[in-house]
Structure 1
Amino acid sequence: MTVIINALTPVLALIVLGFLIRRTEFIPSTFWPAAEKLTYYLLMPAMLIHSLAGKEIGSSPWLNILLTVGGAILASVLFVMLGWLPRRHMGGAAFTSLFQGGVRFNTFVALALAENLFGKEGLFLASLGAGFMILIINVLCVSAFSVAVGHGVFDLKRLARDLVRNPLIWGCTLGIGLNASGVILPAAMDGSLVLIGKAAFPVGLMAVGAAYQPGNIALHWQPLLTSCGIQFLCKPAIAWWLAAATGLSGVAAGVAVLLFSVPTAPSAYILSRQMGGDHDSMAVIITVQTCLSFFTLPLTLWLLR
């Protein structure tokens, strides 16, 4: 339990800090849109390039991990669609919040728990799985925005344009390309990416807190309830089943389930703001899921053991 509290408390603390800063007007309200734009176009791509470029696959069960996380992600998309069917009246922007709330994962929490629970081997395998997930999820989320915010019309040109222009996908592509090519970044450049990328997490979480309105829970309870059910019930179960089906065991299986048991990512709010989503409901989903995970993660880990 202590490990989970230590991993989740910084996340919640930064959300609360952003909430207090916005409510006390310690910083002018004009700061937040600029901070969100900076995070989206610079801080997060830098973090992605650094985190994906430096992973050595080696003799790890990378194919089994890829099959497990890829299958679980596609299953989570299916769960989202099934959860959306009885709520088709919600607008396209609200659907994107449901989509991100049920598909994304909090990388920081997942990696912190993997290292504390499974040591260096767990951290490496979690980083490997997260690398696969980041690219797949970002492509799916940008595609969902392109269709949903475009009034449900599938426009191939619009989708291609949104994918090509998305800085997060560029960050994933460059990081994986550097990894696959074996190119090692100069120490000065890699160090710069590390420093820039480290700012993405605190700035993004404070932006979530700044946008959070307590009264919005009642307004956005439908996407909130559905996304929480998918995130904390459906995804861990399907990840456990796929891990067994692909032959993963021990630490690798535990890491696979862990990746699909954490709350959604704070980057979901930044993407929602920049691509015309319902950022109010997204802020509610991120905050509530983070709070709920204090209770759901101990139960998941107990079942896992």
Structure 2
Amino acid sequence: MSTIVNALTPVLSLILAGFLIRRSEFLSPSFWPSAERLTYFLLMPAALIHSLAGKKIGSLPWFGILVTVEWVVAASALLVILWGAANRRMGGGVFTSLFQGGVRFNTFVALALAESLFGKEGLFLAALGAGFMIVLINVLCVSAFSLTVGSGGGLDLRRLGADLARNPLIIGCLLGIGINASGWQLPAAIDGTLALAGKAAFPVGLMAVGAAYRAGDLARHWQPTLVSCGIQFLCKPVLAWWVAAATGLSGAAAGVVLLLFSVPTAPTAYILSRQMGGDHDSMASIITAQTCLSFFTLPVTLWVLL
């Protein structure tokens, strides 16, 4: 329990810090949109390139991890789509918040918990699983925005292709994977620069989430928040446990996969929502609610399924 609290407390603390800074007007209101753009276009891509370029899979059970994480991500996306289809009165912006709340995962919390619970092996396995998930998740989320908000919605393949091609998170993932696959090693100076820039992505993104929070948002957006929490904390862990068993994963590999699908959604979901025209108020509510709730759900999930 203390391990989970120690990993989640910094996340919630930075969200609270952003909320207090915005309310105290310590910084100009114009600071936050600039911070969001900096995170979205520079800091997060740097973190993704650094993370994916240097992870060598070697003799790890990479195929079982790949199948498990991709299957569960696709299944969770399908659950959100089916719920959205049954609730057509929900706006496209709110749907994108629900989609990200049910599909994304908090990489920071997952990696911190993996290292605390399973040591260096767990950290490496978690980074491997996260790398497999990142590209698919970003393609799915950008597609959700492209198809449901702006230009009247609808299937516009040209717009979808353009949104995917210029999305900095997807570009960062592809660059990282390409460098890894080529066998080329980043020069130490470049890798160090990317690592340093990437470290700033999480605190800036978390404080931006807190700055965007408005009193009453949780009550106003209770339905997408409740549904996203159900998918994130109930459906996904059970699916991950079942698929991991079916693919033969065991030990630390199985535990890490389960962990990846038990953490709250990612703060970067808010940045993407702001940049692509989503309902960022509902997104901030979902992130805050899931982060708080995970203090209780994570210990129960790990105790029951591990």
Q: Structure 1 length normalisation: TM-score? A: 0.99
| Aligned-partner SS, 1:199 | helix
Letter matched to residue 180 of structure 1:
A
Letter matched to residue 295 of structure 1:
F
**2:166 is aligned with 1:159:** no
Q: How does 1:70-89 map to 2 (within 5 A)?
A: 70-89=70-89
Distance in 2, Cα, partners of 1:222 & 1:274 = 23
Question: Does 248-257 or 81-90 show the bigger shift?
Answer: 81-90
Who is 1:251 aligned against? Answer: 252
The CA deviation at 1:152 is 3.3
CA RMSD of aligned residues (A): 0.8
Letter matched to residue 297 of structure 1:
L
Letter matched to residue 105 of structure 1:
F
Who is 1:102 aligned against? Answer: 102
**2:277 is aligned with 1:237:** no
Q: Which runs of 5+ in 1 are unaligned?
A: none
Q: How does 1:175-190 map to 2 (within 5 A)?
A: 175-190=176-191
Give deviations 1:5-55, integer Å, cap 9, x for gaps: 000000000000000000000000000000000100000000000000010
**2:43 is aligned with 1:47:** no
Who is 2:229 aligned against? Answer: 228
Letter matched to residue 121 of structure 1:
E
Letter matched to residue 148 of structure 2:
A
**2:124 is aligned with 1:124:** yes
Who is 1:217 aligned against? Answer: 218
Give deviations 1:243-272, integer Å, cap 9, x for gaps: 011111111111111100000000000000
**2:266 is aligned with 1:261:** no
Distance in 2, Cα, partners of 1:218 & 1:84 = 20
Give deviations 1:36-94, integer Å, cap 9, x for gaps: 00100000000000000010110111111000000000110111122223322011011
Identity of aligned residues (%): 75
Moved over 4 A (4+): none
Letter matched to residue 96 of structure 1:
T
Who is 2:62 aligned against? Answer: 62
Number of residue pairs the alignment of both structures matches: 305
Give deviations 1:208-245, integer Å, cap 9, x for gaps: 00000121111111110100000000000000010011
Letter matched to residue 255 of structure 2:
G
Distance in 2, Cα, partners of 1:158 & 1:201 = 29
Letter matched to residue 16 of structure 1:
L
The CA deviation at 1:289 is 0.2
Distance in 2, Cα, partners of 1:218 & 1:74 = 29
Who is 1:33 aligned against? Answer: 33
The CA deviation at 1:117 is 0.6
Distance in 2, Cα, partners of 1:208 & 1:55 = 29
Distance in 1, Cα, partners of 2:250 & 2:239 = 15
Letter matched to residue 269 of structure 2:
A
Q: Which runs of 5+ in 2 are unaligned?
A: none
Distance in 2, Cα, partners of 1:292 & 1:82 = 24
Letter matched to residue 73 of structure 2:
I
Distance in 1, Cα, partners of 2:191 & 2:257 = 28
Distance in 2, Cα, partners of 1:188 & 1:250 = 36
Distance in 2, Cα, partners of 1:71 & 1:249 = 17
Distance in 2, Cα, partners of 1:195 & 1:252 = 28
Who is 1:173 aligned against? Answer: 174
| Aligned-partner SS, 2:178 | helix
The CA deviation at 1:119 is 1.0
The CA deviation at 1:304 is 2.3
Letter matched to residue 256 of structure 2:
V
| Aligned-partner SS, 1:5 | helix
Letter matched to residue 169 of structure 1:
I
Q: How does 1:194-205 map to 2 (within 5 A)?
A: 194-205=195-206
Letter matched to residue 222 of structure 1:
Q
The CA deviation at 1:175 is 0.4
